[in-house]
Amino acid sequence: MDVVPESSQQNLVRLAEALARLGAALEPGGATTTLSPAELARRGELKLDTDRGVVHVLTAVEGVSCYLERVPNALTVEVGGRQVMFWPREDLIEMKRRSNRLIDRADLGAWPRPTAG
């Protein structure tokens, strides 16, 4: 899962706490890594192994639009009593094309093409 967090201190504190609850580690099977909000903001791109799978935290990746640019297009869904925003497919495809990360290129190659309908 890719996470593009809103960059306020308060939000990065919540993200750091959530990652700790998920047992986030820098290496698969590694010890839980405690990340500060400042470290989350500074790292730009962070791949973490969690109890629920891999999480990529993207705070500053070349070609990836910032969180605030995506808010108007986001779909908001309640998950576990909280509002969670998801990017529309078109925005996600654009972000993956612009980032030029190997994993994003692989994702784009694996996704089915939309059919006219």
Domain segments of the chain as ranges: 1-60, 65-111
In this prediction, residue 72 carries a pLDDT of 76
* pTM metric for this prediction: 0.71
In this prediction, residue 70 carries a pLDDT of 62
Q: Which two tokens stand for residue 49?
A: 């192994």
d(CA 41, CA 6): 10
Residue with tokens 């654009």: 94
22, with CB counted inside 10 A (0-12, 13-18, 19+), is middle
d(CA 13, CA 35): 9
pLDDT along the chain (117 residues), means of 10: 85 93 89 90 88 87 60 82 82 77 81 67
DSSP 63-108: TPPPHHHHGGGPEEEEETTEEEEE--HHHHHHHHHHH--HHHHHHH
Residue 78's beta-bridge partner residues?
Answer: 83
Termini Cα distance of the chain: 28
